[in-house]
A and B are shown apart, each in its own frame.
Chain A
Amino acid sequence: MADTHRHEIDAHSGVSTTGHEWDGIRELNNPLPRWWLWTFYACILWAVVYWLLFPAWPLVTGYTYGVLGWKSRDAIQTDLAQLRAQRAVFADKLAAANLPEIEQNPELLAFARAQGRAAFGDNCAPCHGSGAAGTKGYPNLNDDDWLWGGTLEQIHATIQHGARSADPDAHVGDMPAFGRDGMLPRADIVAAADYVRHLAGLPPAADAQIDKGQAVFAANCAACHGPEGKGNPELGAPNLTDPIWLYGSDRATLIQTISNGRAGLMPAWKGRLDDGTLKALTVYVHTLGGGQ
């Protein structure tokens, strides 16, 4: 920068220069319009006023709160309250209607399914998966095979009280650990496993003893699963004749199931979710496609 050019007027444009020069390129001094400058000052003023009114500056352990006391937390509370008020129109109807009524009213059904879907994503998806397809040990809720029954009432009860949960009304019914607890010798367990595969129409193992397995089944399993292995929703005993398996239908898994028992746990949601949400969840699960 050379100061010698300070007072120069650019010959070409007739505009004075700022005196700044870089390798022979000189900066012209074209001032801003006045309103532009004022807008700039107004913005600075605005910023200062904003700092005083609203939360602005971070401090070591907190931040400046601003004299208006505005908090983003309060803002979201207000928004949520508004949202609840907006939803109340349908949410109240939902709480008042009984389950079949909800499914028959297209508006209520749409609302319940939307709310149920959201609630499912928040509460149920960790075990049953976001699409309710389940995984090993966690039932698929899209199909028509239900451990504890697939009618609206039964699904409602299961969601409210859970299975094997601490709720006094929870579903109870355990699959005993026939092997671990010494109730059956290993050979009987293997035979029973082969018989179960036979019930389901699955191809038998080469050394399968179907007759022996049938006898073991009749003596030990039929009480819960029924003489034909069709299951019993009162006890959460699955139907063993269909192609849907919660833990797996291969021989090794079945032997493991019979030896160590199974006792999947479904928590009780009554009290944790409000009644309207529980109904919405029920309708959502019921209308996934497998409801009875």
Chain B
Amino acid sequence: MATVNLIRAAAPQAVPPADDDAPLYEARRKIYPIAVRGTFRRIKWTLLVVTLGIYYLLPFVRWHRGPDAPSQAVLVDFPNSRFYFFFIEIWPQEIYYLTGLLILAALVLFLMNAVAGRVWCGYLCPQTVWTDLFQTIERLVEGDPRQRREKLKNASRTRRAFEAAAKHVLWLMVAWWTGGAWVLYFADAPTLVMQLIKGEAPVVAYVWIGILTATTYVLAGHMREQVCTYMCPWPRIQAALTDEYALNVTYRYDRGEPRGSFKKTEALRRQGLPGGDCVDCRQCVAACPTGVDIRQGLQLSCVQCGLCIDACDTVMKKIGRPAGLIAYDTEMNVQRRQHGEAPVYRLLRARTVLYAALIVLIGGLMAVVLATRGSEGLSVIHDRNPLFVQLSDGSIRNGYTLRLVNKLLVPRRFALSVEGVPEARLEVIGEAASPGADPVVSVGPDQTYEIRVLVSTAARLPAGASLPVAFRLTDVSGGETISVADHFKGP
């Protein structure tokens, strides 16, 4: 049903002639929404400023970590394979935090959807936010739709050409700034800005600025609602995830119909006949950034930005009828009201509770794991080939590859010992052995270090022995200890 509505709403006048000469494509209907004022417009302005502010300025926030680490609060450091987020530093092998974050993001999206439909689409999605910004620029330069239409008739060609040029230049500047901010997340921002100004930045920075300038300009300036209607998978997914209790921007046709001009409906009402609140002024359609007529019901191309609510509320206020003809409501409630039943709003439902519980669970799990992770690491691989080596004095030797991890930002020294092998001799290749003491290995700040370790014993082992052993790594300056289990094989 929604899909059918979409087609009618998106192009009501574009039904192709019913014969084989129909065009291969559907002509694009350019949408120039009017500016509106109201609650949702204010929310959207606030979110626009906050989200874009974070995006553009976050790379400049400093966070001091010490001499051996970058002092940028949020940094994706590809050359050194690190991700920094304020006090958190993520190593490549801890990529599961990113997985957890993505799971959390998906669950938050589901929860928002279960509560109030496409909140993400309408207020937070970069496509919406940048499109909003670009449309605002367009209105500032070329005027609102009515002024545009007049200019098309009356204004001189040069004036129009000048305005169009100004608009595209402004768009490109925003787009360029967007691409510029993007690359700052991957290198020290102030340094890179200086390099960019002097033209000394690495080529890859220019390439990415170019790519993001192009995508921003094309997607927010030209593609706009086409992205949401044709390219984005979320509308399809969210339609499958939603239920009848989820709040959506809804035209309350129980109240609005039969629509008609203010005079006509007032006249009808005086005669005691039904007259709806909708005065058919089409302000809701004019305000819609995706060209939807919300009065035809919930539809795929509606991103639920709430601007039609503001548009309609303004009209209602002017004509002295109650606001909320278009509002966050459910189709079910509209029907219930039509049948004289009280509307039901249910925030606590199986799915909202489940999503919220999962968010708390996974978020909590991640926080605990993150808070309790150690500052050193050890992994051990037993030589596979050969499993053991027979030495000329009759003793047996096993080889292991150990990887030592120092997650602190200072160099550290670790003592290595092995337990579980009788009369064990421990030797680290490349480290001078000091008899009687455990070998000590230095690992640089925020680094890993791979060593090859040989363990041998002169003790007689039972045939086919496989002794459980434990390698123990101890910070010599009295810090943590970590131990990893493996095996010692004999003939």
Residues of A participating in the B interface, judged by any CB pair closer than 8 Å: 6-9, 12-17, 19, 29-37, 103, 106, 109-110, 113, 129-133, 140, 142-145, 239, 242-244, 287-290
Q: Which residues of A contact B18 (CB under 8 A)?
A: 6-9, 16-17
Select one of A12, A33, A288 contacting B4, CB under 8 A: A12
Q: Are B384 and A131 in contact (CB under 8 A)?
A: yes
Chain B hits for A243, CB < 8 A: 390, 392, 394
Instruction: List the 4 closest A-B pairs by CB distance, nearest first.
Output: A131-B385, A133-B386, A242-B392, A16-B18
Whether the pair A32, B24 counts as a contact (CB closer than 8 A) is yes
What's the least CB distance linking A93 to chain B, in Å? Answer: 16
Docked-complex contact A16 and B25, CB < 8 angstroms: no
Distance between Cα atoms of A201 and B383 in the complex (Å): 30
* Cβ–Cβ < 8 Å partners of B389 in chain A: 133, 140, 142-143, 289-290
CB of B19 within 8 A of chain A? yes
Given A29-B22, A31-B25, A145-B392, also A289-B385 (CB < 8 A): no
Does B8 sit within 8 A of A, measured CB to CB? yes
The complex places the Cα of A109 from the Cα of B16 at a distance, in Å, of 75
A129 partner, pick from B28, B385, B390, B454, beta carbons under 8 A: B385
Complex Cα spacing A15 to B389, Å:
79
Residue of A at shortest CB range from B383?
Answer: A131
User: Which residues does chain B contribute within 8 Å of A19, judged by CB atoms?
Assistant: 20
Give the A-B pair count, Cβ closer than 8 A.
109
Residues of chain B from 1 to 57 with CB closer than 8 A to chain A in the complex: 4, 7-8, 15-20, 22-28
The residues of B that contact A131 with a CB separation of less than 8 Å are: 383-386
**B399 within 8 A of partner (CB):** yes
Q: Name the B residues within 8 Å of A242 (CB-CB).
A: 392-394
Report the bound CA distance from A30 to B389 in whole Å: 73
Task: With both chains docked as a complex, state the minimum distance between the C-beta of B142 and any C-beta of chain A, in angstroms.
Answer: 22
Q: Which residues of A contact B412 (CB under 8 A)?
A: none
**CB distance A30 to B391 under 8 Å?**
no
Partner of B223, one of A12, A35, A113, A143: A35
Task: Kindly state whether residue B78 has any CB partner on chain A within 8 Å.
Answer: no
Q: Does B464 contact A (CB under 8 A)?
A: no
Within the complex, the shortest CB–CB distance from A117 to chain B, in Å, comes to: 11
**Is B320 located at the chain interface by the 8 A CB criterion?**
no
Given known pairs A33-B226, A33-B230, A243-B390, the reply for A7 and B19 (CB within 8 Å) is yes
CB of B429 within 8 Å of the partner chain: yes
Distance of A176 from chain B, by nearest CB (Å): 25
Chain B residues near A142 (CB, 8 Å)? 386, 389, 397, 399
Given contacts A34-B26, A35-B226, contact A9 B15 (CB under 8 A): yes
Main secondary structure of the interface of A (DSSP, over half): loop
A76 to chain B, nearest CB (A): 23
* Residues of chain B lying within 8 A (CB to CB) of residue A33: 25-26, 28, 226, 230
Q: Do residues A34 and B25 form an inter-chain contact, with CB atoms below 8 A?
A: yes
List 5 A–B pairs whose Cβ atoms lie within 8 Å, in order of A's numbering. A9-B18, A30-B26, A34-B27, A37-B25, A287-B430
- A31: chain B residues within 8 A (beta carbon): 16, 22-26
Q: For the A-B complex with A30-B7, A34-B26 known, give 11 more contacts whose Cβ atoms are closer than 8 Å.
A: A7-B19, A16-B17, A33-B226, A34-B28, A37-B25, A131-B384, A244-B392, A289-B389, A289-B397, A289-B429, A289-B454
Q: Which residues of chain A have C-beta atoms less than 8 A from B487's C-beta?
A: none
Does any Cβ of A come within 8 Å of B351's Cβ? Answer: no
Shortest CB-to-CB span from B459 to chain A, Å, is: 15
| CB of B155 to closest CB in A, whole Å | 27
Q: Which of B4, B18, B23 has the most chain A CB atoms closer than 10 A to its own CB?
A: B18
Asked whether, in the complex, the Cβ of B15 is within 8 Å of the Cβ of A16, the reply is yes
Measured between alpha carbons, how far is A72 from B397 in the docked complex, in Å? Answer: 46
**Chain B, range 92-147, C-beta contacts under 8 Å to A:** none
CB distance from B97 to the nearest CB of A (A): 29
Complex Cα spacing A88 to B491, Å: 42
Question: Which listed residue (A12, A37, A106, A143) contacts B391, Cβ 8 A?
Answer: A143
Give the distance to chain B from A127, nearest Cβ to Cβ, in Å: 14
Q: A130 is contacted by which of B17, B20, B28, B385 (Cβ under 8 Å)? A: B385
CA distance A244 to B491 in the complex (A): 13
A15 touches B7 (CB 8 A): yes
The CA of A235 and the CA of B149, in the complex, are separated in Å by 102
Does any Cβ of A come within 8 Å of B452's Cβ? yes
- Contacts A13-B8, A31-B26, A36-B230 hold; do A239 and B399 have CB atoms under 8 A apart? no
CB distance from A183 to the nearest CB of B (A): 29
CB-CB under 8 A from B392, the residues of chain A are: 143-145, 239, 242-244
A130 partner residues in chain B, CB cutoff 8 A: 385
**Within the assembled complex, what's the spacing in Å between the Cα atoms of A289 and B429?**
8
CA distance A95 to B393 in the complex (A): 35
Give chain B nearest CB distance to A54 CB in angstroms. 21
From B4, B389, B394, residue with most partner A Cβ within 10 Å: B389
Complex Cα distance, B223 from A16, in Å, reads 26
A286 to B23 Cα, complex, angstroms: 77
Interface pair B430/A103, CB less than 8 Å apart:
yes
Complex Cα distance, B173 from A280, in Å, reads: 55
**What A residues does B454 contact at CB under 8 A?**
289
Closest Cβ of chain B to A17, distance in Å, is 7
When distances are taken between beta carbons in the complex, the residues of chain B under 8 Å from A129 are 385-386
Residue pair B386, A287 in contact (C-beta under 8 Å): no
Residue of A nearest to B3 (CB): A13
What are the residues of chain A within 8 A of B17 when measuring CB–CB? 16
Contacts of A36 in B (CB 8 A): 25, 230
Which residues of B are found within 8 Å of A35, using beta-carbon distances? 28, 223, 226
Contact call B8/A287, Cβ cutoff below 8 A: no
Chain A residues with Cβ below 8 Å from B383 are 131
Q: How far, in Å, is B416 (CB) from chain A's closest CB?
A: 15
Contacts of A109 in B (CB 8 A): 429-430
* A5 nearest CB neighbor, chain B only: B18
**Known contacts A13-B8, A17-B18, A287-B430; is-contact A32 B26 (Cβ 8 Å):** yes
Q: Quick one: which of A9, A287, A290 contacts B452, CB cutoff 8 A? A: A287
A187 CB to closest chain B CB (Å) equals 31
Please give me the residue from chain A that is nearest to B384 by CB atom: A131
Which of B19, B226, B392 gathers the greatest number of chain A CB atoms within 10 Å?
Answer: B392
Interchain nearest-CB distance for B104 vs A (Å):
34
Query: Is the pair B4, A13 in contact by a Cβ cutoff of 8 Å?
Result: yes
| Given the contacts A33-B230, A242-B392, A14 and B25 also touching, CB distance less than 8 Å | no
User: In the complex where A34-B27, A133-B385 touch, is A16 in contact with B22 (Cβ < 8 A)?
Assistant: yes
Determine the distance from Cα of A288 to Cα of B389 in the docked complex, in whole angstroms.
11
Complex Cα gap A35–B452 (Å)? 60
Contact partner of A289 (CB less than 8 A), chosen from B223, B226, B393, B399, is B399
Smallest Cβ distance from B385 to chain A, in angstroms?
A: 3
Residues in A with CB closer than 8 Å to B28 are 33-35
For the complex, what is the distance from the CA of A129 to the CA of B387, rounded to whole Å?
Answer: 13
Across the interface, which residues of B come within 8 angstroms of A30, CB to CB?
A: 7, 26
CA distance A109 to B451 in the complex (A): 11
CA distance A140 to B391 in the complex (A): 10
